[in-house]
Each structure stands twice: as C-alpha cells, then as structure tokens.
Amino acid sequence: MNSLNLIRLLAAVATLVAAGHASADSTGKWQSSQEVYNKVCGYCHEANVGPVITGRNLMPEYISAIVRNGNRAMPAFRESEINDAALAGVAKLVSTSPAAAAKK
C-alpha cells in the first residue's frame, strides 16, 4: 500500500468513527445487507481505499473471516458493529454481486 492510500484509509477510518457510520440504526438492526455494504464496506471498497470486492466470487467464509479479524490495512469489525446475521448477509451479497451492481 502506498502512502496516499494509507492517508485515504486513515481518513476513512477517522470519518467512520466520528460519524458513527459503522453502527446500525437506533433499533440496533441493519435494514438490509445492501445497507451494510453501502454504509460500511462501500465507504472504502467503493472509494478506492480498499480493493474492489464485488464481482470476484470471493467465498462468503473468506469475506466473513476478513471482516471479523481484519487483514493488514483492513480494520476488524466486532459483533457489536455488525452482528453475525448481518455479516452473513453482507458476505453473501458481496460474494454473489456482479462488479458494479452492489452500488444501487
């Protein structure tokens, strides 16, 4: 990762934390897997901060493991941020999405 990407990543993390984006609505539930993708994953993965993850047939198990544990520059998300059901949903969505369709 070059330093420009690192700066973008740090800015994205800071904004996510400050805006509380990485959390569900007041009922504690995400409305849909698409909402999780748009509000959390898309924040980096649709903005050239993280690599494109849609349209690559990535395995749902692999996606879930990266989200829970983090991987190098990818931050880990806890159950309190994205619960297991929401994570399973977004992993399936990403896994099966064609490259550009996850944006809608």
> Does 49 contact ligand HEC by CB under 6 A?
yes
Is the Cβ of residue 27 or residue 43 nearer to ligand HEC in the bound state?
A: 43
> Does 41 contact ligand HEC by CB under 6 A?
yes
92's enclosing H/E stretch is helix 84-96
Task: Give me the count of residues in the chain.
Answer: 104
Report the interhelical angle of 60-69 vs 84-96 (nearest 10°): 130
Give dist(CA 12, CA 49) in Å, integer: 8
Q: Is 73 a catalytic residue?
A: yes
Binding site for ligand HEC (CB under 6 A): 1, 9, 12-13, 40-41, 43-45, 49-51, 53, 58, 63, 66-67, 71-75, 77, 82, 90, 94
